[in-house]
Amino acid sequence: MLEENSNSQNVNLKIISCRRGASHGSYRITLGDGSSFFLSADFVLKHRIKAELVIDSLLYNEIVNESEYVETYLKSLSLLSRQSYTRLNLIRKLNEKGYTQTSVDRTVHELESRGFIDDRDYAHKWVESRIRKKLDSAPLLVSNLVKKGISQTIAKSVVNSLYSMEVENRIIQKNIERLLNRGKEKDYIATSLSRKGFNLKKVLEIYNNLV
């Protein structure tokens, strides 16, 4: 946390400096006791934060809470710049780093409103990538999305919209061909693909058309 050497018992602290931060419109203020905080531009404007302003304990506590939120939000943007996250996985990541639940909830709400996290879009892109690799059955795709933190409803909706009969047939054929190239027999292929969630009748039908 950025703030140091200060607590809610300190009252009538003077703001020594208020400068724009390096990231996303934030401001950094320094108090007379040497403690520093990052604040959002909206907060600075709302409370008329500026150098030489004397703050009481009530405003101090609001500053502490706002700084925690800004720090959480900036960390989230840093995480999202490196990889995509589902809503649930981002919450888990932030919780692991020790941010307060209030700041995490506010951050996630803001990120969703700005379109920085979108579970449906995440699921859509992930399923498309798996379909291109021609490996997974529809039930397996749904199961893996749920494990990633996507709701069952969104997972099923996305998979159903992308996993057509034609797609399913191509993927089954690809799996069968791969196993045939490894010297596997019909019974092994049928059992293996059935366990992965593929329809057994369709697997046998496509196998018989290939062999």
Mean pLDDT, contiguous 10-residue spans, the chain (211 residues):
47 87 83 93 94 94 96 95 94 96 97 96 96 94 95 97 96 96 96 96 96 86
**Cβ neighbours, 10 Å, residue 153:** 8
Which pLDDT value is given to residue 9? 52
Q: Which two tokens stand for residue 39?
A: 């604040």
CA–CA separation, 176 vs 203, rounded Å?
8
Q: Which two tokens stand for residue 41?
A: 């531009």
Residues 6+ apart with CB under 8 A from 156: 142
Cβ burial of 143 (10 Å; 0-12, 13-18, 19+) is: middle
Q: Which amino acid is at 177?
A: E
Predicted model pTM: 0.77
CA–CA separation, 196 vs 208, rounded Å?
19
CA–CA separation, 179 vs 207, rounded Å?
11
Residues 7 and 63 sit within 8 Å (Cβ to Cβ): no
